[in-house]
Copies of this chain bind each other. A is one copy, B any other.
């Protein structure tokens, strides 16, 4: 039973060896069965990967292969300055930029590699335009697997190099990028390549650990809200599944209300949410600085809508200007995230303005990836510096003292 996939919509069961991450009946995403009980092992985060510390919640991981690069166990940083500015009780940032390839993707990738090894695969792959490509390339290298990374044909070379450095088989694919997700799964099934794409069940399981850690870090008082930048929807699903499982196990007393945060330039889930629809439509042409969440047709979009209903959540979109401003504000607290990482903070500002989030709330925002991933964003900032000569340094410096 614990090794079963369940449809997130119609609850039909499938074996977890199923190559497709979709329900053969209704087409909606499959998921591992939700865990109902368990506890935390007191294994040191310095020495054991998260799937061992939270072993009861990963019953299907039965490989001892050494694939970890030290993913997860990221800080939850309390930002008093931001809480003051937003008139909120507390604001926490789950800082996923501190990961082996500097994004949250490493959690799901590590589990995906383990799962692929369990199933006997020697080949893995992914379809991605950014964080996930680097992550799968790195973990494929680590585990000595033949690794296929499919990216957009016209991807800029400065984005290709940080993936190519891990020496995967990197293919730039020209044509309709939207088709690639399904095409890759089909080709994967035919050629024994395990594709760890954005919202496959095992990757969703990786994101559960974000919720587990937040609970531990807040002494098992779950936050009131968790604000998640949302693209395909896999990370959103995983985080909420994590809170649900800790709740089922009696480790926390409540489940946070989720906020799905998107960019106005690519907001298919927010649009459906506002129209009270239960089905995502293709967003059409996208235009956003937050490339990390630029999926116009999120495969887990409907599943996210269902979770928003179940947990009384909300969805909100923010503009490029709001994202840039939030990115700067987060950096002024010491955390430099890529634009997608700033989307939750921009969303919280908006939801405070209309009082959707109340001042008494404890809010956790997810910063998904490092600012160094997308340096083109610097162009949107007015960054200040001064110039002087060594001999005149003290004069210059004194003039700047506050």
Residues of B within 8 A of A47 (CB): 216-217
A163 to B400, CA, bound (A): 18
Partner of A166, one of B46, B162, B334: B334
- Spot the interface stretch: A137-145, A282-290, A358-366: A137-145
Taking a contact as CB atoms under 8 Å apart, the answer to whether A75 and B98 are in contact is no
The answer to whether A274 has its CB under 8 Å from any CB of chain B is no
> Does A213 reach chain B (CB closer than 8 Å)?
yes
Range of interface residues on chain A? Answer: 35 or more
Chain B contacts for A172, CB-based, 8 A: 385-388
A162-B372, A175-B389, A180-B390 known; A213-B144 Cβ under 8 A: no
Produce 1/0 per residue, A381-402, CB < 8 A to B. 1011111111101101110111
Of the residues B165, B175, B387, contact of A331 by C-beta under 8 Å? B165
Q: Say yes or no for A101: interface residue by CB 8 A criterion.
A: yes
Q: Which residues of B contact A139 (CB under 8 A)?
A: 334
Residue with the greatest number of chain B CB neighbours at <10 A, chosen from A139, A160, A173, A217: A173
- Cβ of A68 under 8 Å from chain B: yes
CA distance A402 to B192 in the complex (A): 12
Task: Find the B residue at minimum CB distance from A327.
Answer: B165
Residue in contact with A175 in the complex, picked from B144, B173, B391, CB distance below 8 Å: B391
Q: Which of B190, B384, B393 meets A394, CB within 8 Å?
A: B190
Q: Do residues A191 and B390 form an inter-chain contact, with CB atoms below 8 A?
A: no
Q: Are B69 and A334 in contact (CB under 8 A)?
A: yes
Scan residues 305-347 of chain A and give those whose CB is less than 8 A from a CB of chain B: 327-328, 331-336
Closest chain-B Cβ to A124's Cβ sits at a distance in Å of 13
When distances are taken between beta carbons in the complex, the residues of chain B under 8 Å from A381 are: 161, 165
The answer to whether A141 touches B383, judged by C-beta atoms less than 8 angstroms apart, is no
B70 adjacent to A171 (CB under 8 Å): no
Instruction: Quote the shortest CB–CB distance from A122 to chain B (angstroms).
Output: 9
Residue of A44, A95, A98, A142 with most partner-chain B CB within 10 A: A98
The answer to whether A384 touches B100, judged by C-beta atoms less than 8 angstroms apart, is no
Q: How far is the CB of A139 from chain B (nearest CB, A)?
A: 6
CA distance A213 to B400 in the complex (A): 40
Contact B334 A138 (CB under 8 A): yes
Q: Which residues on B sit within 8 Å (CB–CB) of A400? A: 148, 169, 171
**A371 contacts B162, CB within 8 Å?**
yes
- Give per-residue flags for A213-243: 1 if the beta carbon is below 8 A from chain B beta carbons, else 0: 1001100000000000000000000000000
Report the Cα distance A213→B45, complex, angstroms.
Answer: 11
Binds B, one of A18-26, A28-36, A77-85: A77-85
Q: Is the CB of B160 within 8 A of A385?
A: yes
List CB contacts (< 8 Å) of A152-195 with chain B.
Answer: 153, 158, 160-162, 164-167, 169-176, 179-180, 183-184, 187, 190-191, 193
Closest-CB distance, A182 to chain B (whole angstroms): 11
The 5 nearest A-B residue pairs measured at CB: A70-B75, A142-B334, A175-B390, A164-B383, A372-B372
Sample (17) of A-B pairs whose CB atoms are under 8 Å apart? A44-B216, A46-B73, A46-B213, A66-B78, A66-B80, A70-B75, A100-B334, A102-B370, A138-B336, A141-B332, A148-B397, A162-B336, A170-B384, A172-B386, A173-B388, A184-B393, A187-B394
Told that A69-B95, A102-B372, A166-B331 touch, could you supply 5 new A-B pairs with CB distance under 8 A?
A: A69-B77, A70-B75, A98-B100, A160-B383, A172-B388
A residues whose Cβ falls under 8 Å from a Cβ of B: 44-47, 66, 68-70, 73-75, 77-78, 80-81, 95, 97-102, 123, 138-139, 141-142, 144, 146, 148, 150, 153, 158, 160-162, 164-167, 169-176, 179-180, 183-184, 187, 190-191, 193, 213, 216-217, 327-328, 331-336, 370-373, 375, 378, 381, 383-391, 393-394, 396-398, 400-402
